[in-house]
Structure 1
Amino acid sequence: MAKLPILQFEEKIIETVEQNPVVVVIGETGSGKSTQLSQILHRKGYTKSGIIGVTQPRRVAAVSVASRRVAQELGVQLGEEVGYAIRFEDRTSEKTRIKYLTDGVLLRESLSNPELSQYSVIILDEAHERSLNTYPWSGTVLLGLTKRLVKIRASNLKVLITSATLDGDKVSRFFSNCPILTVPGKLFPVEILYTAERPTSYLESSLRTAIVDIHIRQPEGDILIFMTGQDDIEKLVSKLEEKVRSLEEGSCMDAIILPLHGSLPPELQVRVFSPPPPNCRRFIVATNIAETSLTVDGVVYVIDSGYVKQRQYNPSTGMYSLDVVQISKVQANQRAGRAGRTRPGKCYRLYPSIVYHDDFLDVTIPEIQRSSLAGSVLYLKSLDLPDIDILKFDFLDPPSSESLEHALKQLHLIDAIDENGSITSVGRTMADLPLEPSLSRTLMEANEYGCLSQALTVAAMLSAETSLLPGQSKNNEKKRKHTPLDLPDGSGLGDHIQLLQIFEHWDQTDYDPGWCKDHDLQVRGMKFVKDVRKQLCQIMQKIAKGSLDVRATERWKESRHEYMKLRKALCIGYANQLAERMIHHNGYRTLGFKPQLVQVHPSSVLRTDEEGMLPNYVVYHELIATSRPFMRYVCAVEMPWVLPILKKLEKLNIKKLSGGSSHF
């Protein structure tokens, strides 16, 4: 393996770290910062006084960096001296000295140990790209908490903040003008090629560039193509395979075409790290997962569509939208840098240079400014630290006051904070669960109603990365016939009930993968749900009265009465996500802080009555904006359960909720 650039700076890094509690390391793409910094500090002996924790913004990056490189380079077994921890999976032991983990996991650890005394070093890796998973706000909160921690533990804690693209001066100022180290990493120059105009289809343009401009005309070297999401990737992979097959035999080298995205099973993700056979070129079609921690050696050509799929949250409507948006200059440069790892490379940008210079934002909008903050505010409240005022919390990129206000209202509606803004006993318990606040609250209420086993199943099903309703699998292109699910009466009450019934039916088959395939259910997704449910079950053992069976075989009468308990628990948990049907049609008006007209998502199994009308009141898991506003995962609830929530809504006093010490 070629010596990574960061190793040339080992002495300088050690010297700077020893003299300063916080150091910013700007390591360009390919410098080796993600894998080598922890080893440099380990060699210096920092693991003798505690663990070196390295936080990663994405689950897949945390796992692959820890398992693929560091354990291997140190010659140790993964899970022993080197391990990783992500939501619902912990591969560490008492021996672990270098630990890769997601932001959310580190935040959860700080709940039980606010000073994080088990760590001697915390490395916040890829700090420019904070996480898209369960805790989208977590990286920004982590920076604020780390700043506070440094003051408390100045003598025995070192903090390194690393990035390829971070605004080093901004972070340095945030941490009292701490030193900045810059490590070069682009080992070879990258030629940037722009198009004369923006193509009408970036998918077709990517196909043409990959085959005609590169594969047929350019010398060996792998191609990395950036697409916006799984759908686009699958379409392009299919078109590339078709095009490569149609080329005249012997006219150019062989090709292997590999997808790379977060929903791909780990065993398929790791294929991109295996070098191709001789006289063969790899086409790697990826989301922005390949922009940062996942470095694929052998890439010489990059095709940049100029777009990324971004989940955005609008606090005034409480609505999420998954939008394809232009990338920032920072992202464009990060993508281009992937081409210069092993030799001079080329980056084909599918947009004109004037678009890059005039239209692209300099940096990506921080995720905390486009996410719901309910989890963030609950976490900060649960720390119960007298010196933390949420509205004055030291965020590197402060969110809008509207987002904070919305979060405080939501937490009060679901009983996590009282009318004076203090965390309640319910809120403390909710903070212990690795779920969004609405689901945590649902589990607690379900425990009171005696339907916790069922609520655990629903929470696990809703935690899956893709939809687990039949017929919604994205890989259903073969159009094979599937057996319809024979679900008992009650599924028409809503999607949550159907999700429960699906899992219970699978449970009865002893988790047979064949059953999933027969009913067009994603096997990997269902296995993930089973694991999540087991983990949640173990956490809830401490809260629930009596013991819980990890299996979902706690049989119950599948009747409207029994489902009522679960629906009532959902109504309490999702008190800020209720909607009332309009009088004369099946449109709904949300009952939240800013009422709006929405519709039930077409995939819902919610049934109409004899007169063709949907239920009067429903609870929904999320609002999404596509062609129009839709409620996704909807369940019928009853008017008597809704009325107390409406009364609570009328009495909200935001000044009191915020603690009264600040004004918006």
Structure 2
Amino acid sequence: MLLGDPSFAKDWLIYPLHSSIATEDQEAAFLVPPPGIRKVVLATNIAETGITIPDVTCVIDTGKHREMRFDERRQLSRLIDTFISRANAKQRRGRAGRVQEGLCFHMFTKHRHDALISDQQTPEMLRLSLQDLAIRVKICKIGGIEETLSEALDSPSAKNIRRAVDALIDVRALTNAEELTPLGHQLARLPLDVFLGKLILLGTVFKCLDMAITVAAILSSKSPFSAPFGQRAQADMVRMGFRRGDSDLLTIYNAYLAWRRVCQTTSASGGKEFQFCRKNFLSQQTLANIEDLKGQLMVSLVDSGFLSLTDDERRALNRLRYSNNSRRRHQQFFEIPQRVNLNSENDAITTAVIAWSFYPKLLVRDTPGSRGLRNVGNNQSISLHPSSVNKGHNEIRWLSYYHIMQSKAVYHAHETSAADAFAIALLCGDVKADMFAGVLVLDGNRARFALPDWKTMLVLKVLRTRLREVLTRAFKQPGKLPTAQQERWLEVWQKIFSQDAHKENGSTAVTKA
């Protein structure tokens, strides 16, 4: 808007600094402007401590920031506008005058600074999820979860600790007695939250590991898609061109695969890689970071003993582990073993694995064709974030999601993926079968599924039991292959979830009751 005024644009340069902007585009803010031109940097608190722009001589501090807080009761993140602390104000003041004298204008009163705002920002333990911390307490064997966390300097409330424990029980990481389950032991060995850790473990068992570990790396980092200043509509159009499987996550994975193919088929000069990323509004640096994080997660998975490698595969992983990233002339990739990666291109399987991993993070459209979605975990009304590839596709009945964020009065689901009713009934939560009514009830009436006949119900119950046995063995005896009988059941499951068979049978055999 400002640059649209010719009289303003000729004398000023404006650079936004925001986490959604590609790293390469942010670097322009560090350039010294030509003589007679004034530079303005519009920054979030990314500029508070993370970067220093040498030629900044004046800082205008609004006195506010947007802070992420996790609501344990509703199991959602809230992005709230709040006043900064005195420590934040000092950091902002220090952005001017790092290498030369400068000025800082704080847009709030001295009375507010001295008497009303806090000394320090709210500790993370009081505003972020306690689930990861709780599971670390159990793996370290330092006492009960509530007892240990209540002894912290800034201890969370007993209610929030209880809610975090209940959430871990819900994902089967803890028993009702607050002991680690076999799944919980495996999750504790991975440097991820429980949902992303579960995604990698299930991705290994159900042979779509490349998809799972890439998605986990993306959600642990940030989306490689960027929206340059003034080009959001064009960037959104390009992103939709990568749409796959009615899934935000598979859409990003699809873009990652396209980038990887370009890197693996071009020379070390990187010219075509740069052109590809600029054309498709992708951050080259973010994609490289995702690939590096994939390697680290692969190392953690192997070191945990859950995945066994051949000698050649281990040597290849070690070369990646000990290589010097800063000296690479060419992006290095570790090829996921084919035996655990047969299904990464199968949308029916990958979306099912995502739904199973993220459960109970599940949305349902109670009225077909309506815009309204309900969170099955707490019956709350939810909207899709405007950037979702599923926004406006009201024919999709079930959606898994990674997180919900409250912004002002709106609750938006992020990183959604379409889920099939058959997949949900097969491996999400606990089900109770009512043979006479022809209905499966999920987790105390969170959802109900109508089946066409008793034979379908019997098949689903048997397959569900056998797949549970496969997972139990995998978690209790990590690194061991399934038995011959379990392999046969996996083949049955694989056949049911093959693309063609699933389209013909899977989505129609089970419907929402």
Match of 1:265 among 23, 33, 46: 23
Q: Could you tell me which of 236, 241, 246 is aligned with 2:11?
A: 246
Q: Is the 8 A contact 2:362 2:376 kept in 1?
A: yes
Residue type of the partner of 1:524?
Answer: Q
User: Letter of the aligned partner of 1:514 in structure 2?
Assistant: Q
What amino acid sits opposite 2:257 in the alignment? E
1:544 has 2:328 as partner: no
The residue aligned with 1:533 is 294
Counting only pairs closer than 5 Å after superposition, residues 40-119 of structure 1 correspond to structure 2 as none
Tell which deviates more after alignment, 490-499 or 260-269: 260-269
Amino acid in the other structure paired with 1:525: T
Q: How does 1:273-312 map to 2 (within 5 A)?
A: 286-292=43-49, 301-312=58-69
CA displacement at 1:422 relative to structure 2: 1.1
- Compute the TM-score of the two structures, normalised by the length of structure 2: 0.64
- Of 219, 228, 244, the residue aligned with 1:462 is 219
Structure 1: how far apart are the matches of 2:358 and 2:429?
10
1:586 corresponds in structure 2 to 371
Which letter does structure 1 place at the counterpart of 2:372?
Answer: G
The corresponding residue for 2:254 is: 501
Return the offset for 1:343: 7.8
Amino acid of the structure 2 residue aligned with 1:563: D
1:208-264 deviation per Cα after TM superposition (whole angstroms, max 9, x unaligned): xxxxxxxxxxxxxxxxxxxxxxxxxxx88x6999858438xxxxxxxx977666666
- Supply the distance in 2 between the matched residues of 1:515 and 1:337 (Cα, whole angstroms): 39
1:400 maps to a residue whose letter is: S
Aligned to 1:384: 141
How many residue pairs were aligned? 398
SS in 2 for 1:493: coil
- Give the letter aligned to residue 261 of structure 2: Q
Distance 2:177 2:430 in 1: 19
DSSP 3-state at the match of 2:199:
helix
For the pair 1:477 / 2:235, whether they are aligned, the reply is no
The 10-residue stretch of structure 1 (363-372 or 346-355) with the greater mean CA deviation from structure 2: 346-355
1:639 aligns to 2:421 (yes or no): yes
The alignment status of 1:622 with 2:374, answered yes or no, reads no
Provide the residue aligned with 2:130 in structure 1: 373
Contact 1:606 1:614 in 2 (8 A): no
Q: State how far apart, in whole Å, the 2-side matches of 1:240 and 1:259 are.
A: 17
Structure 1 residues 472-481 or 563-572, which shifts more?
472-481
Structure 1, unaligned runs of 5 or more = 1-234, 248-255, 652-664
SS in 2 for 1:396: coil
Counterpart check, 1:518 vs 2:264: no
Does residue 432 of structure 1 match 2:185? no
3-state SS of the aligned residue for 2:359?
coil
Q: CA deviation at 1:267?
A: 11
Q: 1:516-563 deviations in whole A, cap 9, x for unaligned?
A: 32222232222222222222223223422445782369685787xx32
The Cα shift of 1:431 comes to 2.3
Aligned equivalents of 2:232, 2:203: Cα separation in 1: 40
| d(CA) in 1 for partners of 2:33, 2:275 | 33
1:148-163 matches, cutoff 5 A? none
Tell me the SS of whatever aligns to 2:401. strand
For residue 176 of structure 2, the aligned residue among 377, 394, 419 is 419
| Letter paired with 1:636 | A
Question: Closer, same or farther in 2 for the Cα pair 1:506/1:402, shift >3 Å?
Answer: same
**Distance change (3 Å), C-alpha of 1:240 and 1:288:** farther
Give CA-to-partner distance per residue, 1:631-664, whole Å, 9 cap, x none. Answer: 111112233544551658559xxxxxxxxxxxxx
Quote the Cα distance in structure 1 between the aligned partners of 2:410 and 2:83: 22
Matches within 5 A, 1:159-198: none
Give per-residue Cα distances to partners, 1:78-100, cap 9 Å, x unaligned. xxxxxxxxxxxxxxxxxxxxxxx
**1:320-354: CA deviation from partner (whole Å, max 9, x where unpaired):** 23233221233224433555767875431223445
Q: CA RMSD in A?
A: 4.2
Contact 2:87 2:119 in 1 (8 A): yes
Compute the TM-score of the two structures, normalised by the length of structure 1.
Answer: 0.51
Distance 1:318 1:505, change over 3 A: same
Distance 1:590 1:530 in 2: 33
Cα distance in 1 for partners of 2:87, 2:16 equals 24
CA distance in 1 between partners of 2:283 and 2:353 (Å): 27
1:450 aligned onto 2:212: no
Structure 1: distance between partners of 2:367 and 2:299: 44
The change in CA–CA distance for 1:241 and 1:577 in structure 2 (over 3 A counts) is: farther
CA distance in 1, matches of 2:218, 2:65: 27
**Partner residue, 2:80:** 323
Give SS of 1:534's match.
Answer: helix
Aligned-partner residue type, residue 123 of structure 2:
P
